[in-house]
Amino acid sequence: MPLLHYSNRLECLIVPLAQELEKRDPFDSAEIVVPNFSLEKWISLKLAQFQGIAANLRFITLEKAINEGLQKNLSGRFYDLLKSETTQCLLLEVLRKKLKTSDPLWLPVRSYITPKTKLSPEAGEHRLYQLAGRLTHLFMEYELSRNDEILTHWLAGRNAFDQGPLGTESWQRELWSELFGPEGKVTRHNRSARQSKSVEFQPELYTLPQLCRVYSSESKQQNSILYSQSSNNKLKPLHIFGVSYLSSFHQKALTEQLANLRDIHVYTLNPCMEFWEDVQSFGESKAAARRSLEAERQRFEKYEVLSETEIEMGELFQDEEDNPFLQAWGRPGRENIKLLNQWSAWCFEPWFADADSSAAQTENSEKPQQSVLNQLQQDILFREPRRAEPLNLEQDESLVVLACANPRREVEAVASLIWDWIRRDPDLQLNECALIVHDMELYQHEIEQVFESIYNLPYHLIDGISGSASRLEDAANSLLGLCFTEYTRRDIFSLINNPCFLQKFDDTVSAGKNSYGEPLQIQQWLQWADELNVFYGIDRESQEEQGYLHLEHDIYHWEQAFQRLTLGEMVSAEEGNGIF
């Protein structure tokens, strides 16, 4: 049975990880599953601070850990994992054959790939390639999360949801069966590979979920043998750290296969130390209120300001008894915690840290001064319900919401706050400040410009493109890539925002610390592109070549935008300025 370690703070989870690693032989490597490279570096640094050294640590992905665990117990099979590129190529081959038939099942696909109106062969091939890639992704998601709900029915030759013979599920099931059905391409290849006696035989091809099913079927046939082997030759413990979500396949593979081969320790964040699997999100609360509307009619009568429509829609009221933050944002974490608890039979080691422990002591009182952020974290930790009366806490800087006009202003505001904190707190170090953004491509240029040119703040990028050579390469790729794109707004502005490209069109001239001239107003051009409805295509002709044949007017392309800008300037110009 796996051992769970819960905490509301990531740094607290380092303690049980370090304690478990101390039990091993220092010359043995420890395998740690992490979701990204940044967390890998953070764990190495924290373990070095905690133990004095971080050595013999092997960081791997969860998929690789599952594959390596099964590989040692499937030594009689010569196989490779089926790559997504291989699946996409196989789907391209099947789609080309199906589109040549007159079967009405493929009419929706055929009308998309080869419409009756004008479409270049290159654009049709592009559509076919994109469709095969999208189907490859969908089939993998079905295996990871919807195997019992969808693929089990498809394997039996019937639809799971859409019972119509010509619906979308029908042709998707046909394609999947052509690859993975009883007589599919991959199935026939694996059968011939197992029966082949040639010296130059090819390996069998399986996706990771398929490989787990193969292991399950063989373990059932040789249960006693596999059990004795696994008990005598048990692998080293596996540590899963900071993985925020596990699909149904991953949890099943860990519990039913990998847990029999090695000890598993899971270190994960849990914002609430109380039982909170029954917390309803706002949407679930509204749905429940709609269902019980008639039974609780008296509850709604005192709300005279609410209309009948608002009541029927399940409007939330002030007497809702639960933590509003867990209701609003806790549903994904709630589902994951619920599955983990079922996995370990609700046995776990708590490593929760009270928010009061990090609060600062005041001069005149021994009781810690509670900040806004500390109070919010503590309310979530103990699942405090919605309060009828405010606490009247003094507003501080522990939690600040800033309204900024654009990403540039956001970065400038953050840089100003960092400098202010550094000046006021001599114990605060720059490496203790972190800036987290949702889209590094959007913010990296602004961070570099603001932190270096204006505030001279030292920084280190983790997930961005670093180095002028890399930025130049990225600009070249974006420029040459326009030949193969649809000239979407994203394609154009990803090139324009590159500093190596931007400098060629910037009119500013530097003179010492001062700059003269007018800088290129990227945000203004973005706003114009949005207001002029620019989406794709240079002009109407390029749109038709890309397959956008449903447009009846000259809209959504760049040429119409420039024409409207020019006409607007001509109409609004004053008389005698030389334009006309």
Pairing of strands 264-269, 238-241: parallel
Q: Tokens 């590159």: give the residue.
A: 498
According to the model, what pLDDT value does residue 513 have? Answer: 45
Q: Could you check whether 3-78+208-269 and 83-206 share the same CATH topology?
A: no
According to the model, what pLDDT value does residue 227 have? Answer: 47
Beta-bridge mates of residue 241? 267
According to the model, what pLDDT value does residue 579 have? Answer: 47
Segments in 407-557 forming alpha helices (H): 407-424, 440-448, 468-481, 489-496, 499-502, 522-531, 540-545
According to the model, what pLDDT value does residue 474 have? Answer: 80
Q: Which residues contact 472 (CB under 8 A, 6 or more apart)?
A: 500
Cα separation, 214 vs 216, in Å, equals: 5
Q: Tokens 């600062």: give the residue.
A: 360
10-residue averages of pLDDT along the chain (580 residues): 86 92 88 89 90 90 88 79 93 92 90 77 84 94 90 91 87 94 92 76 87 80 50 75 85 82 89 81 66 57 56 49 81 80 81 67 52 88 85 85 88 90 89 86 82 79 65 82 84 81 62 53 82 86 76 83 86 60
Supply the CATH classification number for the domain 83-206.
1.10.10.160
Cα–Cα–Cα angle for 132, 136, 139, nearest 5°?
135
Cα separation, 428 vs 377, in Å, equals: 22
According to the model, what pLDDT value does residue 153 have? Answer: 92
Burial of 215 (0-12, 13-18, 19+ CB in 10 A): buried
The length of the chain in residues reads 580
According to the model, what pLDDT value does residue 315 have? Answer: 47
According to the model, what pLDDT value does residue 580 have? Answer: 44
According to the model, what pLDDT value does residue 364 have? Answer: 45
Beta-bridge mates of residue 3? 265
Which candidate, 251, 245, 277, places its Cα nearest to that of 264? Answer: 251
CATH class of the domain at 3-78+208-269 = alpha beta
- Burial code of 454-473, b = ≥16 C-beta within 10 A, e = fewer? eeebebeeeebeeeeeebee
- AA identity, residue 558: W
According to the model, what pLDDT value does residue 177 have? Answer: 94
* Verdict on whether the full-model pTM lies above 0.75: no
Domain ranges of the chain: 3-78+208-269, 83-206, 402-464
According to the model, what pLDDT value does residue 15 have? Answer: 93
Longest dimension (CA), the chain: 97
Tally helices (H) and strands (E) across the chain: 26, 10
Q: Which residues contact 400 (CB under 8 A, 6 or more apart)?
A: 417
Which candidate, 340, 316, 329, places its Cα nearest to that of 281? Answer: 329
Q: Which residues contact 356 (CB under 8 A, 6 or more apart)?
A: 368, 370, 374, 378
Cα separation, 43 vs 499, in Å, equals: 33
- Note the Cα 151 to chain centre separation in Å: 24
Q: What is the 3-state secondary structure (H, E, C) of 373-401?
A: HHHHHHHHHCCCCCCCCCCCCCCCCCCCC
**SS3 at position 364:** coil
Yes or no: say if 510 and 80 are a contact pair by the CB < 8 Å rule.
no
- AA identity, residue 20: E
- AA identity, residue 512: G
